[in-house]
């Protein structure tokens, strides 16, 4: 079911969400408050503010790379991984050239991101390569409830962290059998996250993060993601 992220329509939707959400024509008939736009950047900022070390960062389920570029303004090396070939192609093109053209729109990296060069690779968050290495910060933005086996993903992350690493997980908690078999849902999400992460992480904070994802100039989803920040012990 993760193939749904290969469509041209979703590619355009996520390019808009990552690179144009502050443009006046993102939702031209209604102005959006600052607190609901720039979601990929706001997610990255939580790690930029709280990290202890700024060596390696991982953006898991990076889509078209908006958070990865922002992480790379401070982290020395950033890797973005996603299951969608179309998204990874767009993110790589942006990294190589600073822009990407899709359906008559040219997306351009913000100026502070143009000198950053995160690397992007196709991959499965539930089966990460063992030699991926360890990270000082891992972002999983709106990925958890799109995975076939979210618990497997969480336990797999342990080998890619070290003491002091940060893990930032946001999720709309919109569990759906189209993505995750019901018996694998982590529900209620926060309790399940504690059950899986408390043995090796400390929960530093839990808060709400609203965002707006447009699919038409007159229509958008308004979602309040649950965000939780964890430090590996």
Ligand X SMILES: C[S@@+](CC[C@H](N)C(=O)[O-])C[C@H]1O[C@@H](n2cnc3c(N)ncnc32)[C@H](O)[C@@H]1O
Structural tokens at position 89 = 């192609």
* Spatial separation of the C-alpha atoms in residues 94 and 34, rounded to whole Å: 25
* Closest approach of ligand X to the CB of residue 224, in Å: 14
* Closest approach of ligand X to the CB of residue 27, in Å: 17
Site residues, ligand X (CB under 6 A):
2, 5, 17, 40, 61-63, 81-84, 87, 124-126, 141-143, 146-147
Closest to 215 in 3D by CA, of 23, 15, 4, 77: 15
**Smaller CB distance to ligand X: residue 142 or 161?**
142
* Spatial separation of the C-alpha atoms in residues 72 and 77, rounded to whole Å: 7
**Smaller CB distance to ligand X: residue 82 or 136?**
82
* Closest approach of ligand X to the CB of residue 215, in Å: 13
**Smaller CB distance to ligand X: residue 186 or 202?**
186
**Smaller CB distance to ligand X: residue 59 or 136?**
59
- H/E segment holding residue 214: strand 201-216
**Smaller CB distance to ligand X: residue 5 or 135?**
5
Question: Which residues pair with residue 162 across a beta bridge?
Answer: none
* Closest approach of ligand X to the CB of residue 233, in Å: 26
H-state helical runs in 64-220: 66-71, 85-97, 150-157, 189-197
- Between strands 137-141 and 201-216, the pairing is unpaired
* Closest approach of ligand X to the CB of residue 2, in Å: 4
Scan for tokens 């939780």, then name that residue.
228
**Smaller CB distance to ligand X: residue 12 or 40?**
40
The answer to whether 61 touches 140, Cβ cutoff 8 Å, is: yes
* Closest approach of ligand X to the CB of residue 98, in Å: 20
The DSSP string of 153-172 is HHHHHGGG--TT-EEEEEE-
- H/E segment holding residue 229: strand 219-232
């Amino acid at each position: 079911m993760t193939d749904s992220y290969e469509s041209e329509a979703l590619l355009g939707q996520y390019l808009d969400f990552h690179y144009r959400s502050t443009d006046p024509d993102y939702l031209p008939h209604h102005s959006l408050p600052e607190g609901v736009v720039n979601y990929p950047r706001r997610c990255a900022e939580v790690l930029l503010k709280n990290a202890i070390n700024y060596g390696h960062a991982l953006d898991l389920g990076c889509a078209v790379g908006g958070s990865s570029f922002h992480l790379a303004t401070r982290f020395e090396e950033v890797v973005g991984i996603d299951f969608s070939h179309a998204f990874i192609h767009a993110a790589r093109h942006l990294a190589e050239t600073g822009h990407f053209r899709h359906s008559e729109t040219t997306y351009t990296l913000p100026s502070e991101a143009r000198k950053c060069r995160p690397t992007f690779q196709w991959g499965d968050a539930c089966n990460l390569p063992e030699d991926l290495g360890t990270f000082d910060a891992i972002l999983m933005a709106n990925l958890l409830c799109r995975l076939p086996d979210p618990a497997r993903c969480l336990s797999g992350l342990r080998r890619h962290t070290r003491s002091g690493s940060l893990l930032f997980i946001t999720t709309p908690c919109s569990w759906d059998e189209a993505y995750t078999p019901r018996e694998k849902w982590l529900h209620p999400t926060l309790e399940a996250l504690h059950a899986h992460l408390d043995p090796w992480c400390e929960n530093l904070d839990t808060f709400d993060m609203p965002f707006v994802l447009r699919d038409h100039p007159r229509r958008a989803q308004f979602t309040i993601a649950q965000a939780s920040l964890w430090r590996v012990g």
